[in-house]
């Protein structure tokens, strides 16, 4: 946690009616959007002038979150985002460990004069880029840290049902509905308190997970049936989706969320990879069971990173070359990949 003095300084900014900007990472997920909006509602309740922004569009299944329509998307509203960032006294940096994770927004954040506070749970935070750092890799989600932060500022009562819905989204999405990063009793204590705030957890879960379009579900079926390679000797399954595949199923942002988890759900698989052909680059998603670190794998070979059991990467090669590269890199980890997984992740 931050020191008492740091909390007092931050409280000074918040209570002063200062201009505050909230930022979160590229390809925002439930934790990024949820923690941004939780902080947004909290700061508004404290009387601050707040804006929230993300580098690019987030999935439509987070649109039910209160004030999600207030989030500025840099990709489509760069001027507005830049103006707010440059004029901010305090900048929240949520759910990312390094400024480059802001993509096209990164240089503006670097140039911004406001004090920067990082709240994050990814490994190896770039601490020198921030004035205040609240980072804990043993926490389920950035949302859980935001909860701790608000409580540490003495504002537990400001966690109303709106804030609680946002924080619920963070924890439920970053633990895969309590299927990983879920061995810490404290996470359940926090969730219990969120339920006490009056959220309808069952309904919210449905908003996130049961609002597929027909195209999205058919894309999932196609991906598993027609685009999944299984490399038994590497205990790995890889699903790839080309630009044409995505076009055929009228891809919308978020439609490939969760696809990689189906590959990991096979008993014989320890590592799952999703390779997606985006406009100008190839995006990779890695998931593992047990001790095999996809964070290290993504960092060392695929220009990315993340957590031990969930990470992402990026390549600028034709998709077939990327698939070949994944296979050849993994071949050098053959021994490491051939463990009998008990599927524990320690957290
Ligand atoms: P996903 O596969 O869902 O896109 O990402 C899995 C996890 O890895 C998320 O926690 C995400 O924040 C992180 N992640 C994804 N891409 C990158 C990346 O390029 N760099 C880093 N450091 N983390 C990433
Ligand atoms: Mn997260």
203-241 burial code (b ≥16 CB/10 A, e <16)? ebeebbeeeeeeebeebbebbeeebbeebeebbbbbbbb
Distance 314 CA to ligand 1 centre (A): 10
- Atom of ligand 1 minimally distant from the CA of 98: 22
Is there a single domain that holds both residue 47 and residue 124?
yes
In a domain, 24, yes or no: yes
Q: Identify the residues whose C-beta falls under 6 Å from ligand 1.
A: 25, 27, 29, 97, 101, 285, 304-307, 310-314
Query: Per-residue confidence at 15, pLDDT binned at 50, 70, 90?
Result: confident
Is there a single domain that holds both residue 204 and residue 243?
no
pLDDT at 341: 72
pTM of the model as a whole:
0.95
- Cβ neighbours for 64, distance < 8 A, ≥ 6 positions apart: 207
pLDDT at 162: 98
Is there a single domain that holds both residue 186 and residue 282?
no
3 state SS of 16: coil
Is there a single domain that holds both residue 247 and residue 126?
no
Is there a single domain that holds both residue 97 and residue 186?
yes
Q: Which of 185, 209, 233 is the last residue of a domain?
A: 209
Give me the CATH number covering residue 249.
Answer: 3.10.310.30
For the chain, report the end-to-end CA distance as a whole number of angstroms: 18
Ligand nearest to the CA of 311: 1
Query: Per-residue confidence at 263, pLDDT binned at 50, 70, 90?
Result: very high
Residues 50-56 have a mean pLDDT of 98
Residues 105-125 have a mean pLDDT of 97
Separation between Cα atoms, residue 150 and residue 148, nearest integer Å:
6
Q: Which of 209, 230, 252 is the last residue of a domain?
A: 209
pLDDT at 228: 98
- Atom of ligand 1 minimally distant from the CA of 286: 2
| Interval 274-305: pLDDT, tens | 999 998 899 999 999 999 999 999 999 999 99
Residues 115-125 have a mean pLDDT of 96
3 state SS of 152: helix
| Interval 126-185: pLDDT, tens | 999 999 999 999 999 999 999 999 999 999 999 999 999 999 999 999 999 999 999 999
- Atom of ligand 1 minimally distant from the CA of 27: 4
Contact of 297 with 286, CB cutoff 8 Å? yes
3 state SS of 307: coil
Ligand nearest to the CA of 137: 2
3 state SS of 228: strand
Enclosing domain of residue 96 = 4-209
In this structure, the residue with its CA closest to atom 6 of ligand 1 is 311
Distance 9 CA to ligand 2 centre (A): 26
- Number of domain units in the chain: 2
In a domain, 343, yes or no: no
Q: Over 90: is that where the pLDDT of 16 sits? A: no
In a domain, 345, yes or no: no
Is there a single domain that holds both residue 156 and residue 249?
no
Token pair, residue 241, equals 């989706």
pLDDT at 243: 97
In a domain, 346, yes or no: no
Residue 319 vs residues 127, 253, 315, 323, 337: alpha-carbon distances, Å: 34, 20, 9, 6, 23
- Atom of ligand 1 minimally distant from the CA of 97: 22
Task: Tell me the pLDDT of the chain averaged across its residues.
Answer: 96
Q: Pick left, alpha or beta for residue 72 (phi over 0 → left; psi -120 to 50 → alpha; otherwise beta).
A: beta
């Amino acid at each position: 946690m931050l020191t008492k003095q740091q909390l007092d300084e931050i409280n000074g900014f918040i209570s002063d009616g200062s201009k505050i900007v909230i930022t979160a990472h590229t390809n925002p997920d439930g934790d990024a959007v949820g923690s941004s909006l939780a902080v947004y509602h909290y700061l508004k309740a404290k009387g601050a002038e707040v804006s929230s922004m993300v580098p690019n569009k987030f999935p439509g299944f987070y649109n039910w979150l209160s004030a999600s329509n207030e989030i500025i998307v840099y990709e489509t509203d760069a001027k507005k985002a830049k103006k707010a960032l440059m004029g901010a006294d305090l900048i929240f940096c949520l759910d990312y460990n390094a400024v480059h994770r802001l993509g096209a927004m990164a240089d503006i954040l670097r140039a911004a004069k406001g004090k920067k506070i990082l709240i994050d749970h990814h490994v190896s935070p770039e601490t020198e880029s921030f004035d205040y750092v609240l980072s804990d890799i043993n926490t389920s989600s950035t949302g859980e840290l935001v909860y701790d932060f608000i409580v540490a500022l003495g504002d537990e009562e400001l966690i109303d049902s709106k804030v609680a819905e946002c924080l619920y989204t963070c924890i439920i999405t970053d633990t895969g509905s309590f299927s990983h990063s879920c061995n810490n009793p404290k996470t359940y204590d926090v969730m219990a308190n969120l339920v006490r705030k009056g959220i309808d957890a069952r309904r919210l879960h449905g908003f996130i997970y049961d609002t597929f379009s027909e195209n999205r579900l058919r894309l999932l079926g196609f991906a598993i049936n027609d685009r999944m390679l299984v490399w038994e000797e590497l205990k790995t399954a890889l699903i790839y989706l080309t630009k044409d595949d995505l076009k055929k199923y009228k891809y919308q942002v978020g439609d490939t969320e969760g696809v990689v988890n189906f590959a990991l759900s096979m008993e014989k698989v320890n590592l799952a990879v999703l390779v997606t052909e985006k406009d100008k680059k190839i995006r990779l998603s890695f998931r593992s069971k047990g001790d095999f670190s996809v964070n290290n794998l993504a960092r060392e070979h695929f220009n990315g990173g993340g957590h031990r059991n969930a990470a992402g990467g990026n390549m600028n090669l034709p998709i077939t070359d990327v698939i070949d590269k994944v296979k050849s890199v993994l071949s050098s980890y053959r021994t490491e990949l051939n463990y009998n997984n008990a599927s524990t992740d320690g957290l």
